[in-house]
Structure 1
């Protein structure tokens, strides 16, 4: 997926994998909704890490893109049903659809990254870029007050720290922006 320089791609892989690993820790929370959201975010983090591996390091076989379509298609359906009772899952739905879009784009142009010869920015890529840029700004602005409020409470476990969950979501949105720029 990652068509930029190797070091940049490997940093993106490391960021997404670390985010996915922390989300696995969050799945040990005592709060059910926290566990449920963390599972979807762990899937997204690890999926993004795998998709961002530079082809020069490991060239994915054609079936890998089909596997992404199936896994993130199932995640999108799950997020759609979960969003009926928990609106936060709408963001998971958008993320899963963005992953489906990127996987379909890569499956359609194996061995070639970028727009596949098209000039200009495809409409759907632009819509996703706008959404994730807005999400980065919104979640970054929410992070500042959360850090100031949470400064005095150190009794929460790693899985129950809301400011760290926000940092996870922010880093995944930044990673998604980076990946969409290469589509």
Structure 2
């Protein structure tokens, strides 16, 4: 999570912007949309905080266990709500990946050297495979698809910009890319 400063700041900006948009999505009139957006906002802001380059700010020793606790609680919440749909399974995997990265950064070897590299290579590889597949599938879902007989006339009712499914998918895609970037440094 702590590599060169420029990519680190780009990752911070991407994750913070995604978290901010997810906060706006929490104003949706659809309860499931609000619930998912809350978890995604937490992930976005948490990823942004964890990605701040160490050249600018080195977190105190207690920050990494605090992150692990926060995302452990998010994982428990995702586990509880997993009964409602498969998307919460992704929230569970994402929260557990954040716990794993925080634990790797809390390891003495990571603190001494100011970078990652103290994670389990097998677990890191499995998470990289999962998030790579997730990013590819999410990206494919963003590709425009026209229905048979659709002329692109734009009829129908207007959807509020916070409830637009393609924007929610774009947020999930950007967080998946951010997770890949963070996992590469563990």
The higher radius of gyration belongs to: 2
The 2-side partners of 1:174 and 1:42 are apart by 15
Runs (5+) with no aligned partner, structure 2 = none
Among candidates 172, 176, 179, match of residue 176 of structure 1: 179
SS at match of 1:83: helix
The 2-side partners of 1:111 and 1:181 are apart by 19
Q: Root-mean-square deviation (CA), in Å?
A: 1.7
| Aligned counterpart, 2:134 | 135
| Aligned counterpart, 2:2 | 2
Query: Normalising to structure 1: TM-score of the pair?
Result: 0.91
Q: Tell me the number of residue pairs that the alignment of Structure 1 and Structure 2 aligns.
A: 177
After the TM superposition, which of the residue ranges 159-168 and 137-146 deviates more from structure 2? Answer: 137-146
The 1-side partners of 2:165 and 2:8 are apart by 28
The 2-side partners of 1:154 and 1:122 are apart by 49
| Aligned counterpart, 2:34 | 35
Q: Deviations over 1:27-53 (max 9, x none)?
A: 000000000000000000000000000
How far residue 145 of structure 1 moved from its aligned partner, in angstroms, is 3.1
| Aligned counterpart, 1:115 | 117
The 2-side partners of 1:68 and 1:44 are apart by 11
Cα 1:80–1:27 shift into 2, 3 Å:
same
Q: Deviations over 1:59-99 (max 9, x none)?
A: 10011101101100000000001011222100000000000
| Aligned counterpart, 2:59 | 60
Query: Normalising to structure 2: TM-score of the pair?
Result: 0.90
Q: Which runs of 4+ in 1 moved over 6 A?
A: none
SS at match of 2:58: coil
The 2-side partners of 1:81 and 1:145 are apart by 34
